[in-house]
């Protein structure tokens, strides 16, 4: 009975081994799989005898049976679980030859091998190389042998000293296709390529197939999105959107949530896109694995996920940027369209914004881009809504820094970069960091070009600093003269900085510890002497250094003969020039709207508010002019150069403000010096 149980158990394992399709279960497990099948016409006695000789299938034989996956499978099978394995195409590399001269019924019986096989075996010697085994055994006889329908690894009939070496050669033959030697380290296997096949680790065919599959995934993804955009649900949704007012993405989202058919169709798009993206990610992971040791990595491009915000913005683009066949991209920040490169004008009519406060309550029927009516507390003026009560001056122009005066003073004393205003250095006479002849006057300027780069900012000057060096034999010292242009224009529209005059600060010189005659020249104006600036003109002259500190006489050095340069007077160089201050908010469009209200007397309340705001603005701007017996009219310069008004318009506005100011009680207009023509 015990014998029958053993026979039935062996038959059970044998039938399972025949039904299994061997697969890659580990790094080495699938290479040398040994399987056996008895002849179907054999008698039960023969089958039992054969099964008795097939105990090697159930014991620890070969790399497959030593793999943890196979051990786990045996335990699961004994507990009643079943698992199917797929066979990989690498098995097609295996060769099976009948090396026996005659048939024997038992697997472990001695096999009468062919003389040629024995001769090749002897030629290998005691320590053959993998190449010798490939050439003399594997290429001629394969990796396995077949006797009486019993498949076994060829190492089973080799001498013991050759078995391990043969297994290594067979694995390299099967896994590396005889193009290298198989190596395994730390649960990772690869081929050490031979010189003839440097890319044996790079399965280019498989990589090309996966790259093609990835391209197909991207095409399918684009097709899914195009089908959604062309679907009836999305087109009906676009037709239902109102066109009599501007729709931001929040409003479009409310219409989106109210359309159940569109949400159902969008859910289908999300599902198909998610599945496609997961498939593409799997392909990418396989690509990374296959191309890990390729000399050239594949180009991988995954389709980008399109969230709901994309389709909301797409609806905006189709509404407002679809003047031609190819729509542009709408941007709420700039309230305009970005058109394709081959189309210069794709933007259509963008209606006005209907909302609370200063927004429109409705758009004009004849021109949707302008307001037709305003909310309570606002007046309709030139297609826009303006407040009936005057706005704060801060809406148009600021005069103070965000930092406290004490903090500004501290930062200025330390020449901190946080209070530095970055300006553009321009000079035809002096290049920063280069030595120059100090004879004759040199001109430099630092400008901001605000109308081009920073049209919404004006700038306050609080200090100037420059670093100047001279050669050791120099007997000259620099004498800088500063002119400040407040808002742009020509040099004649600048005011001279009265250094060390009428309590105005003087230059502070600090010697640098660098072994050269280098000094930091710093002029600190602070909050008391601050003023507007757009361009700072610096004229540098030189004078002969005097040893008498009480002498006030200045002797400028300007030789009559240009050939008498600095050979005996030395050279100078300027390493850096910096201006310190801060930038402030400036709204030129808002100030233009205020000026336009001066010409419409039928809006009496709005006109008076505009006059009062402009008068306050003029007073605060001119209050920051340089200290002198008579103030400069900086407000006219602001109108002329920052608002780009003509001279006649500036004169008209000045006269209108003068006339309105004369009607106000307790006002006295001081005579101002006109700085800008």
Query: For all residues of the chain together, what is the average pLDDT?
Result: 76
CA distance 127 to 159: 12
CA distance 271 to 228: 12
CA distance 89 to 51: 29
Confidence of residue 196 (pLDDT cuts 50, 70, 90): confident
The torsion angles phi and psi of 550, rounded to 5 degrees, stand at -85, -5
Given this model, what pLDDT does residue 391 score?
A: 60
Q: Does the predicted TM-score (pTM) go above 0.85?
A: no
CA distance 484 to 534: 8
Given this model, what pLDDT does residue 275 score?
A: 92
Q: What is the dihedral of CA 240, 316, 272, 281, to 10 degrees?
A: -170
Count Cβ atoms below 10 Å from residue 293 Cβ, excluding itself: 12
Q: What is the dihedral of CA 525, 531, 536, 538, to 10 degrees?
A: -40
Residue 190 pairs in a beta bridge with 183
User: CB neighbours of 98 closer than 8 A, spacing ≥ 6?
Assistant: 145, 146, 147
Three-state DSSP string of 555-599: CECCCCCCCCCCCCCCCEEEEEEEEEEEEEEECHHHHHHHHHHCC
Mean pLDDT, residues 4-17: 36
Q: Out of 292-296, 370-374, 581-585, which region has the weakest mean confidence (pLDDT)? A: 292-296
pLDDT higher than threshold 50 for residue 533: yes
- Identify the helix (H) or strand (E) that includes residue 56: none
Model pLDDT for residues 273-304, shown as the tens digit of each residue: 999 999 999 988 888 888 887 877 777 888 78
Burial group, residue 315, by CB count within 10 angstroms (0-12, 13-18, 19+): buried
Mean pLDDT, residues 338-356: 83
pLDDT higher than threshold 90 for residue 232: yes
Domains assigned to the chain: 2-193 (no CATH), 204-338 (no CATH), 405-494+506-585 (2.60.120), 588-663 (no CATH)
Given this model, what pLDDT does residue 16 score?
A: 32
Most trustworthy range by pLDDT among 98-112, 138-152, 237-251: 237-251
pLDDT higher than threshold 90 for residue 355: no
Residue 317: how many CA atoms within 13 Å on its side-chain side? 19
Given this model, what pLDDT does residue 79 score?
A: 62
The residue among 233, 280, 285 whose CA lies nearest residue 259 is 233
Model pLDDT for residues 66-125, shown as the tens digit of each residue: 556 666 666 666 665 554 433 333 333 444 444 444 444 444 445 566 777 778 778 887
The torsion angles phi and psi of 46, rounded to 5 degrees, stand at -65, -40
Confidence of residue 169 (pLDDT cuts 50, 70, 90): confident
Confidence of residue 138 (pLDDT cuts 50, 70, 90): confident
């Amino acid at each position: 009975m015990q014998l029958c149980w053993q026979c039935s158990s062996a038959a059970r394992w044998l039938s399972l081994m025949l039904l299994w399709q061997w697969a890659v279960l580990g790094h080495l497990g699938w290479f040398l799989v040994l399987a056996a099948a008895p002849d179907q016409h054999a008698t039960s006695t023969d089958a039992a005898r054969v099964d008795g000789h097939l105990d090697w299938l159930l014991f620890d034989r070969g790399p497959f049976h030593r793999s943890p996956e196979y051990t786990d499978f045996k335990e699961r099978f004994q507990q009643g679980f079943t698992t199917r394995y797929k066979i990989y195409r690498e098995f097609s590399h295996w060769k099976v030859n009948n090396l026996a001269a005659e048939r024997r019924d038992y697997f472990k019986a001695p096999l009468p091998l062919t003389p040629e096989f024995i001769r090749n075996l002897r030629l290998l010697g005691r320590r053959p190389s993998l190449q010798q085994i490939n050439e003399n055994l594997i290429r001629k006889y394969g990796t396995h042998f077949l006797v009486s329908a019993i498949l076994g690894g060829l190492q089973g009939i080799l001498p013991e000293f050759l078995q391990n070496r043969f297994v290594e050669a067979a694995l390299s033959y099967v896994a590396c296709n005889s193009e290298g030697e198989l190596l395994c380290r730390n649960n990772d296997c690869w081929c050490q390529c031979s010189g003839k096949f440097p890319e044996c680790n790079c399965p280019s065919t498989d990589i090309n197939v996966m790259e093609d599959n990835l391209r197909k995934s991207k095409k399918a993804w684009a097709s899914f999105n195009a089908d959604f955009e062309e679907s009836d649900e999305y087109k009906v949704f676009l037709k239902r959107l109102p066109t009599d007012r501007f729709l931001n993405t929040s409003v479009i989202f409310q219409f989106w949530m109210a359309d159940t058919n569109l949400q159902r169709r969008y859910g289908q798009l999300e599902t198909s896109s998610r599945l496609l993206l997961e498939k593409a990610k799997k392909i990418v992971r396989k690509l990374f694995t296959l191309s890990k040791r390729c000399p050239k990595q594949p180009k991988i491009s995954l389709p980008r996920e399109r969230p709901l915000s994309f389709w909301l913005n797409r609806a905006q683009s189709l509404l407002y940027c679809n003047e031609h066949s190819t729509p542009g991209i709408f941007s709420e920040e700039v309230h305009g369209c970005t058109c394709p490169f081959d189309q210069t004008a794709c933007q259509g009519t963008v209606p006005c914004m209907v909302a609370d406060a200063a927004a429109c309550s409705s758009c004009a029927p004849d021109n949707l881009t302008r307001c037709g009516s305003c909310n309570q507390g606002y007046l309709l003026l030139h297609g826009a809504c303006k407040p009936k009560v005057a706005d704060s001056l801060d809406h148009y122009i600021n005069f103070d820094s965000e930092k406290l005066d004490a903090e500004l003073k501290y930062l200025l004393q330390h020449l901190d970069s946080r209070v530095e205003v970055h300006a553009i250095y321009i000079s035809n006479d002096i290049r920063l960091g280069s030595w120059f002849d100090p004879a004759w006057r040199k001109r430099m300027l630092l400008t901001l070009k605000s109308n081009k780069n920073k049209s919404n900012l004006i700038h306050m000057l609080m200090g100037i600093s420059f670093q100047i060096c001279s050669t050791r034999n120099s007997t000259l010292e620099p004498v800088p003269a500063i002119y400040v242009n407040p808002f742009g224009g020509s040099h004649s529209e600048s005011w001279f900085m009265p250094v060390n005059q009428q309590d105005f600060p003087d230059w502070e010189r600090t010697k640098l510890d660098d072994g050269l005659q280098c000094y930091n020249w710093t002029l600190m104006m602070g909050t008391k002497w601050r003023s507007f600036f757009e361009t700072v003109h610096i004229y540098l002259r030189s004078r002969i250094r005097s040893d008498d500190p009480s002498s006030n006489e200045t002797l400028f050095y300007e030789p009559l003969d240009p050939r008498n340069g600095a050979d005996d007077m030395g050279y100078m160089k300027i390493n850096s020039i910096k201006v310190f201050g801060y930038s402030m908010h400036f709204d030129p469009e808002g100030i233009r709207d205020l000026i336009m209200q001066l010409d419409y007397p039928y809006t009496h309340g709005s006109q008076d508010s505009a006059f009062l705001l402009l008068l306050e603005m003029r007073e605060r701007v001119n209050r920051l002019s340089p200290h002198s017996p008579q103030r400069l009219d900086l407000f006219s310069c602001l109108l002329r150069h920052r608002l780009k008004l003509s001279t006649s318009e500036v004169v008209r506005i000045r006269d209108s403000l003068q006339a309105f100011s004369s009607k106000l009680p307790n006002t006295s207009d001081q005579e101002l010096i006109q700085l800008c023509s």
